[in-house]
Structure 1
Amino acid sequence: MFKFSLSIPFNIKLLWDKWNIRGSILFSLWLQVILIFVAPIRKSARKKLVITLIWLAYLLADAAANFAVGLISNSQRNPDKNSDPKLTQNGDLLAFWAPFLLLHLGGPDTITAFALEDNQLWQRHLLGLVFQAGAVIYVFFQSLPNHKLMFPTVLMFFAGIIKYGERTLALYRASLDKFRDSMLKKPDPGPNYAKLMEEYAFKRSAELPTTITMTPEPDKETRASDTPPKEGDLNHLEVVHYAYHFFRTFRGLIVDLIFSFRERDESRDFFTRRSAEDALRVIEVELNFIYGSLYTKLEVVYSGLGFSSRFLAFGFTLATLGLFYFKTKDDFRGVDVGITYTLLLGAIALDVIALLTIIFSDRTFTQIKNPERPSPKALPAAFVFKTFLALKKPWWYPCKCTSGCRQHVLATPLAFRRWSGSISSHNLIRYCLESKKESIHEFPSLSRIVCEYIFDLLGLKNVFHCLTKICEVIGKNLGDIKEKLKILRQPFIMFLRLFMEDTVDEFLFVSREPFTKDLWEFIFEELKKKSEFADTPETAKRISSARGDWALTDSDGDHNNLLKYVSDVPYDESILLWHIATDLCYHAEKENGDNSAEKKNGGYRVKLRHFSKTLSDYMLYLLVFQPTMMSAVAGIAKIRFGDTCEEAKRFFKSRSLRPNEDKKACEQILSVNTDVGPEEVKGDRSKSVLFSASILAKELEREDDPEKKWMIMSRVWVELVSYAASHCRANTHAAEVSKGGQLITFFWLLMAQFGLGEQFQINEGHARAKLNVGK
């Protein structure tokens, strides 16, 4: 009988026994270095792979530190005969290494929680702090009475406790319950109604002619704002100051608090005076303050004891380095001394980097006064701060789109971006045809921008364009080869789709569109126009609840034939109808989008088409792949999407349509006779809306002015996104801030700044009642 035995070679066992503790500690330190540098880019990363790698490092960091503490504790309790005898016998060195792992469990300042739910686990981290501190103390006492590094060990233990305590406190303060409690005002019982009515009844019983007059009570909120609105453009520091002011005012949005109309009026007055770009800059910084409060140690560091505890821990680490440096180390192996210095210098380096991160954080800039006119002594520092803030300002780069129209796309480098600057796109027709991913614009390459600038300075602009053309040809050929090689991965993809269909579909069919300046200006102006009508709570609520009907009724002409596609159908059905209709109209005009008449108007019709297409594909992406953001309005979206896809696939198969024939597919859909609506001949068991959307597209095509047609569609899409933004749970918006950010979150915050929504419910405040006794 055949026997199979698996054994680990003795040399490998010996190597593991010799290096398991050393390797685990160094691995833990390496993870800390990765996290402190890489964790901040997750709020601006465009690819999910980057966020996944940060998530992996975040989990491994805690696991590695806990594992190393366990190994040290176990080696002290039960020495292995195969382990390194010098390291095993030298328990004082192991006891000295153990507090470094407490330091690592405290984590870097740049990340305390990976997801919003991690903040709710602060009790677990508090328990972990107690147990890990106990394990370190146990290791320390195991090394007695011959502990040669007693004082350095004690100092590092206190430094580790401080860092781990900071992280636990940061998680506690960022938990939603505590976050809400920190913003709740003192309970307000209002005027003493019972006492007033007792006096009123007493005077009436004495037959005194008594009346009650009401006068508004002076409100403390009527005082002037600390940051009054400024006319004109904002400088870099003013952007941070105003953003912090409105962050302090509106951070209660995250936990669904209500606000007064005075707060709304102040915010609306400020944003109506701003340009679209300045409003974008302020909202970017506001979202970064939300990110810092919920996912980093920012709030703890800037608290009352934050700076003192930070410098105390840093002082302990420096003192430990000094004591170890002057300590006799003849009893220790050279490699162990090197590891110890690596741990000490690594801890100091991490603290210095954390200090620099604090110095150059937006929170620090809120404390700087008037950097535009610095004193001569402060010129170097002011120049450094202004340059750093200037680098974080949105960079716009002109880029040609597929229709030849030139638009400015967000090209801020990754290290300075405050969010991803990208919009995810999913298209139903492209998905059903299994066409390759495509986008209207390309993401600008930083290296290309720099090379173009250098060639331009050298007067070699034509050479650069020639090289660009050559690179495009090479890239196209490589792309064709890549497409042909895709057939090799099909079996693997089919296998993965059995277990993770949505993840594979997102990888294969979801593309990313760069954020354009024109799109933001259009969104800003549309929401600003709506805010002008929101003078009363009822009007603000009605406008923010519009699902496209506001755009249709507010436009010139009679569009009652289109109202039923937004008012009389569920929201998720409305998105699918307008998504397919937008695609049908988009491909119907794709050939003649850049004609001479269009150029006379600056390509505005082309831009409107792009706005509609971008928002349409984005909303389908949210509906299909971000169900948590759409849970309040999605309904049976998954069923409706699946039924529509099945009908589209059957139709495309009957017409022998192949991948990448999107335009032809749209023409075939529009060619189907729809004189009798599909709901009249198919019943309602299938929730497909494919040919209902075709009827909507034909209704839109009847518009005489193509530009007006695309204006209507663009405005409808702005309202559809606005509706979803205002009905999405606030903590879901906060959760997306740490994953690159979502355009819908910018809608949500901008609507709040303009006073659109249901969160403004305090209108008049208290009233003061006065008893008047007549003669």
Structure 2
Amino acid sequence: MDIPEKYKQLWIHWDARVLILLSVSVQIVLFFLGHLRKTFALSWMRMILWGSYLIADLLANFVLAHLCNDMNDSSFSNAIVAFWAPFLILHLGGPDTIIAYSMEDNELWARHLLSLGYGLIIAFYIVFRSLPNTSLLAPTLLIFLVAIVKYLERSYSLYKASTKGFHSSISSSYRKLNPLSQAFYLYFACRPFFINLIPHFELYTKTRNLIKEMTTKEVWRAMSKVLSYVYDEIYTKTIINHSIIGYVLRVLCSFCIFLAFWLFLIVPKDDFGKFDVIITYILLVISICLDVTANIMLMFSDWMIFSLLSVKKLRNLSVLLANCIVRIKTVWHKRSCWSIKMPQLSLLNNCLNVYAPNRALHKRMMNSIVEKLNFAQETKLYPGWRTTINEIYTLQALQPTHANEKIMKIIASNVKKGLYAIWQVIDWAIPIFVKLLDGISLDQQVFIWHITTELCFHWNPKPLHPSCPHRRELEKESISTTRKCREMKACKYLSNYMMYTVLLRPEMMSTIVQESSVLFYHAFDDMVQFIMQNAKIEEVCKKIMTTPTVWNDNNKSFFAIARALADLMLKIKEDERWQVLTMTWAELIIHVAKNSRANMHMKQLSSGDELLTFIWLLNKYVETDDMFHIILDIPGN
């Protein structure tokens, strides 16, 4: 079916105009979502941002090529078409809030800089074709100047965020601590951690003492700000914007944009098409709005506070301005600058979903639609190649939660104090724990303790112990119900989060064993055997705990070990039981964080934070002194 000729002609006339409006719309999306992605790590936001980032440069280059075709040597509209060309170079420079979607993009800074030459050649060719009509030449050159500055800012920011640039920016000097810039002081000390370097000893010592004097809430607020600064340095134009040259360029660009708008306003427009004039006004007004918004964000950022406190001349005035910004931010932006995300994955919930096909068709369709709209993450468990089993299990993550104050206190206190006090209370159980978990890797321990926690959490306390039907009552509650529920939920959140990390984010762990995935499959398959159609999770747990365990010394099942651990945990008093489980998870997550790689945490910042990144950074502040002791003991250092 052929498209009617009139629609073809309509598109030929409007294609470049529609595409340039689409390009400016993409810039708006990048500007705002680029700013929000470090605080709101929602899946749909990341998908839109990713698509906009991929299409932005391609779209701008494509429109430049179309403008070349639209030039007509005998048309007066050439001048206004040529005026659009520098806006596309401006779009290639990108907004201040995002220069890269991932760390790998930063390594392509040289290619990005080279692309400027090709873009300028096409843009200047379009302007040359518009001559001798010079009615809009002055505003065109002004926007050209702004576009070149913005493009060079992005290329320089990409270089500074690359591995080479970041390494060269690490300085051995350090600045004086100021109460208003306390978080920035911690950030300056932690920068070497992200490229596996040793920080300045005196600076590190001061920051470590500072961390130890903080409350739990202050520690996590400081860590969130530090990670926010690292994100700004790697994925935005913050480094160039908050420099003396950056401030001068900011004033120059703002002046040029306003002057170009005024010059276009006073130019006679009788020879230009009405819709072309409207499109030009849209481009100018949106550029002004984005520039003003960027200036406001720059003035009220934490980086501006640090810049003011670094001024030596007019010291009193700069401190006064810094205090004013702090007060305004406190009133205007009460929400913390970084949210602590904890993705969740529950094995028992996934076991129950194995029988999902037995539900009604309309319910299955609705659940499937909801899962797709929420961009639910999935992973698969395979039985291995040499087996007759054909079943493949698909595990789906739950909606992520956020770390509450209870979880913060548990982890912060354990990083600073240690984890062995509670084990002294139940020292009789330690040999059994050691025997059950001997020779098991870290990721496998997470899998086992997750099943144990699930069984303990969903076990409905009855007067009798599951494996001892004639035993007296287990125990009477010695802690308040509210406190117990908080501890249970905190423990379950940590358990689900670590299970998610092992199965869906294995790159965050450096201790993954190759055969773990097959062993996980068989353990999960053992769990599925206990699932009944339309069964409740409490009924499944009861059946699992009351069924005798069959041991195979040659090949112990993780599921059998987890059941034995759960049986042992249920013999401990309830308040001590949840203390043991919570401390165990705190120990596991700290151990995983200590052994994770720095570059993985830098990559993680691009998609929102995770709890593991917070703990890794906090642990770096607290325990790197062991490294210093080793170095200082070597003669000659």
Which one of 150, 153, 176 corresponds to residue 166 of structure 1?
153
Aligned to 1:299: 239
Q: Which residue of 2 aligns with 1:100?
A: 87
Q: Distance in 2 between matches of 1:9 and 1:260?
A: 71
Of 66, 69, 73, 1:74 maps to: 69
Two-structure CA RMSD over aligned residues (Å): 3.6
CA deviations 1:70-114 (Å, max 9, x no partner) are 1112333xx6xxxxx99x663222211100111111111111111
Change over 3 Å in CA distance of 1:760–1:635 after alignment to 2? farther
TM-aligned CA deviation for residue 273 of structure 1? 1.1
Decide which of 548, 556, 569 is 1:700's aligned counterpart.
569
User: Any conservation in 1 of the 2:345–2:396 contact (CA below 8 Å)?
Assistant: no
CA contact (8 A) 2:38 2:338 kept: yes
- Bigger mean CA offset, 138-147 vs 343-352: 138-147
CA distance in 2, matches of 1:75, 1:768: 71
CA contact (8 A) 1:736 1:742 kept: yes
1:652-731 map, 5 Å: 652=531, 656-658=532-534, 661-674=536-549, 676-680=550-554, 683=555, 688-703=557-572, 705-731=573-599
- Correspondence for 2:191: 251
Number of positions where the alignment pairs a residue of Structure 1 with one of Structure 2: 607
Matched residue, 1:137: 124
* Per-residue Cα deviation, 1:96-147 (whole angstroms, up to 9, x for no partner): 1100111111111111111121111212211221111111111122222334
Q: Give the superposition deviation at 1:315.
A: 2.0
Q: Aligned equivalents of 1:260 and 1:436: distance in 2? A: 57
Question: How does 1:12-27 map onto structure 2 within 5 Å?
Answer: 12-27=7-22
The 3-state SS of whatever aligns with 2:151 is helix
- Matches of 2:298 and 2:306, distance apart in 1: 12
Of residues 255, 263, 278, the one that matches 1:315 is 255
Q: Return the TM-score normalized by structure 2.
A: 0.86
Paired residues of 2:38 and 2:609 also in contact (CA < 8 A): yes
Q: Which amino acid aligns with 1:389?
A: T
For residues 47 and 265 of structure 1, what CA distance do their matches in structure 2 show? 37
1:487 alignment partner, one of 352, 359, 364? 364
Q: Could you say which residue in structure 1 is the equivalent of 2:60?
A: 65
Match of 1:453 in 2: none
- 1:7 match: 2
Residues 490 and 303 (structure 1), Cα distance of their counterparts in 2 relative to 1, 3 Å cut? closer
- The answer on whether the counterparts of 2:76 and 2:272 sit within 8 Å (CA) in structure 1 is no
Q: Does residue 1:605 correspond to 2:484, yes or no? A: yes
Q: CA deviation at 1:642?
A: 2.2
1:521 to 409, 416, 431: 409
Q: How many angstroms does 1:325 deviate by?
A: 1.9
Give, as a single letter, the amino acid of the residue that structure 1 aligns with 2:445: S
Kindly name which structure, 1 or 2, has the bigger radius of gyration based on alpha carbons: 1
Is contact 2:39-2:608 (8 Å) kept? Answer: yes
Q: How far apart are residue 262 of structure 1 and its match?
A: 3.8
Give distance in 1, aligned partners of 2:408 and 2:461. 23
Alpha-carbon deviations, 1:442-467, whole Å to 9, x = none?
xxxxxxxxxxxxxxxxxxxxxxxxxx
CA contact (8 A) 1:669 1:691 kept: no
Displacement of 1:634 in angstroms is 5.3
Secondary structure of residue in 2 paired with 1:423:
strand
Offset at residue 309 of structure 1 (A): 1.7
Q: Deviations over 1:141-171 (max 9, x none)?
A: 2222334322222221111111111111111
Structure 2 runs not aligned, ≥5 long: 382-392, 464-473
Mapped pair 1:626 → 2:505: yes
Q: Look up the match of 2:271.
A: 331
1:557 matches 2:417: no
Deviations 1:280-329 (A, max 9, x none): 11111101101100111000111341111222222222222222222222
**Partners in 2 of 1:591 and 1:335 — Cα distance?**
76
Structure 2 CA distance for partners of 1:19 and 1:350, relative to 1, 3 Å: same
1:265 aligns with 2:205: yes
Residue matched to 1:109: 96
Distance 1:15 1:627, change over 3 A: farther
Classify 1:427/1:768 alpha carbon distance in 2 versus 1 (closer, same or farther; 3 Å): closer
Q: Is the CA contact (8 Å cut-off) linking 1:43 and 1:740 kept in structure 2?
A: yes
Residue ranges of structure 1 left out of the alignment (5+ in a row)? 1-5, 80-84, 186-219, 229-237, 394-415, 438-481, 531-547, 770-775
Following the alignment from structure 2 to structure 1, what is the Cα–Cα distance between the partners of residues 252 and 224?
A: 34
The 2-side partners of 1:124 and 1:141 are apart by 26
CA distance in 1, matches of 2:553, 2:493: 29
Q: Within 1, Cα distance between the matches of 2:439 and 2:634? A: 41
- Offset at residue 65 of structure 1 (A): 1.3
The Cα of 1:742 is off from its aligned counterpart by 0.1
Which of 286, 290, 303 aligns to 1:346? It is 286
Kept in 2, the 8 Å contact 1:555–1:712? The answer is: no
CA shift for structure 1 position 726: 1.5
Please say if residues 751 and 757 of structure 1, whose CA atoms lie closer than 8 Å, have aligned partners that are also in contact.
no
Contact kept, 8 Å, 1:678 with 1:691, in 2: the verdict is no
2:107 aligned counterpart, secondary structure: helix
Q: Give distance in 2, aligned partners of 1:560 and 1:765.
A: 37
Distance 1:555 1:525, change over 3 A: farther
1:423 maps onto 2:291 in alignment = no
C-alpha displacement at 1:66, in angstroms? 1.6
Are 1:612 and 1:710, in contact at CA under 8 Å, matched by a contact in 2?
yes
Q: Is 1:571–1:633's contact at 8 Å kept on the other side of the alignment? A: yes
Deviates more, 1:487-496 or 1:552-561: 487-496
Larger mean CA deviation between 157-166 and 35-44 belongs to 35-44
Identity of aligned residues (%): 29
What is the CA distance between 1:491 and its match in structure 2?
8.2
Instruction: Write the mapping of 1:222-621 to structure 2, written as runs, cut at 5 A.
Output: 226-227=176-177, 238=179, 241-259=181-199, 261-368=201-308, 382=323, 385-390=326-331, 392-393=333-334, 416-434=335-353, 485-489=362-366, 502=379, 509-530=397-418, 556-558=426-428, 559-589=430-460, 598=477, 601=480, 603-621=482-500
Deviation at 1:181, TM superposition (A): 2.1
Question: Aligned with 1:109: secondary structure?
Answer: coil
Q: Is the 8 A contact 2:342 2:497 kept in 1?
A: yes
CA displacement at 1:599 relative to structure 2: 7.8
- How far, CA to CA, are the matches of 1:528 and 1:327 in structure 2? 68
Post-superposition CA distance 1:525-563 (Å, at most 9, x none): 111103xxxxxxxxxxxxxxxxx8x57756552312112
Q: Provide the C-alpha distance between the structure 2 equivalents of 1:177 and 1:639, rounded to a whole number of angstroms.
A: 40
**Cα–Cα, structure 1 residues 381 and 493, in superposed 2: closer, same or farther, change >3 Å?**
closer
Distance 1:62 1:760 in 2: 46
Q: 1:54 to 1:61 in 2, by over 3 A?
A: same
Preserved CA contact (<8 Å) 1:99 1:156: yes
Kindly provide the CA deviation profile for residues 208-255 of structure 1, in whole angstroms up to 9, marking residues without a partner as x. xxxxxxxxxxxx98xxx7227xxxxxxxxx4x6111001011111111
Contact 2:452 2:563 (C-alpha < 8 Å) held by counterparts: yes
CA 252–381 in structure 1, closer or farther in 2 if over 3 Å, else same? closer
> What CA distance in whole angstroms lies between the structure 2 residues aligned with 1:422 and 1:251?
22
- Paired with 2:8 and 2:360, the residues of 1 have a C-alpha distance of 47
- Letter of the aligned partner of 1:583 in structure 2? E
Amino acid in the other structure paired with 1:630: M
Bigger shift: residues 726-735 or 601-610: 601-610
Structure 1 residue 695: Cα displacement = 1.0
In 1: Cα distance, 2:88 partner to 2:80 partner: 13
Identify the range of structure 1 (129-138 vs 55-64) with the bigger mean alpha-carbon deviation.
55-64
